[in-house]
Amino acid sequence: MKISVVINTLNDEQRLERCLVSVSWADEIVVVDLGSTDKTKEIAEKFKAKIYDHKKVDYVELVRNESIKKATDDWVLLLDPDEEISVSLKEELSKIANKKEYDAVIIARKNIIFGKWISHGTWWPDYKLRFFKKGIAQWSGKIHVDGRAKGRVCYLPANSDLAIIHHAYPDLTSFLERMNRYTDIEAEEKFNKDVRFSFWGMSWSILREFAKRFIKGMAFFDGLHGIVLTILMMYYQFLVWGKLWEKGNRAGGNKFSH
């Protein structure tokens, strides 16, 4: 069975080559570029990728379905430009494609954050739908919502050798920049669904994040990295609700502003 790799890019010259090297064995590489102004497309051309241009969007889930349609092979491996796969994972996926027992594969992601593999705090195994027969997977277009697949689905073991390596955030600056953008989007989505600011709603979201990351996820086992990431994700929730409060004030919809 032939395998197409599909990647969405936007100004990824610093990280795309590592991703493409790891999938250079693929029968086809499809790059759907969202308006890069750096050398991203030049790098993709070096690997003989098929490059398609698409207008810029706020987040990648909005273009997943359209990008996947560009692939021409039987199976699709969906990656982000800050991800790579190991030889072990490549061999495992090839076996699955050839055996024809499954229609889709859910794969763990090994998140590298601030230079460390974060294996607690719900950052692992971070399962994602990333390998599937063309035509059986669909994305809703909602931010941070994974795709769904029809048919027989296989979960690979939560083994670091069989995981997608995700170089998520090299430093705190990159984390905060993306946090600001994502919280804008989530606050807008809540507001459009008629969710309005409440002190208790905000407090519950922050406390739930702490319980999920630090208590249930035992983030403390990742040392200071785990503690810092827990605080950052609690702040993420604070920002979502803070921006929702701001939107309500502008629209005159909050019952109180203090």
Look at the chain and count its residues: 258
pLDDT in tens, 120-177: 999 999 999 999 999 999 999 999 999 999 999 999 999 999 999 999 999 999 999 9
Give the mean model confidence (pLDDT) for residues 71-90. 98
pLDDT in tens, 204-254: 999 999 999 999 999 999 999 999 999 999 999 999 999 999 999 988 766
Helix (H, G, I), strand (E, B) or coil at 103: coil
* DSSP calls for 148-208: EE-S-EEEPPS-GGGSEEEEEESSHHHHHHHHHHHHHHHHHHHHHTT----HHHHHHHHHH
What's the number of CA atoms in the CB half-sphere (13 Å) around residue 169?
A: 16
In this predicted structure, the answer to whether residue 195 has a pLDDT above a threshold of 90 is yes
Q: Could you tell me if 28 and 106 are in contact, meaning their C-beta atoms sit under 8 angstroms apart?
A: no
Q: Residue 86: is it exposed, middle or buried by C-beta count within 10 angstroms (0-12/13-18/19+)? A: middle
Q: Could you tell me if 45 and 51 are in contact, meaning their C-beta atoms sit under 8 angstroms apart?
A: yes
Token pair of 234, please? 């609690």
pLDDT in tens, 50-76: 999 999 999 999 999 999 999 999 999
CATH class of 3-168: alpha beta
Report pLDDT for 255: 52
Delimit the domains of the chain by residue range: 3-168, 171-251
Report pLDDT for 250: 86
pTM: predicted TM-score of the whole model, two decimal places: 0.93
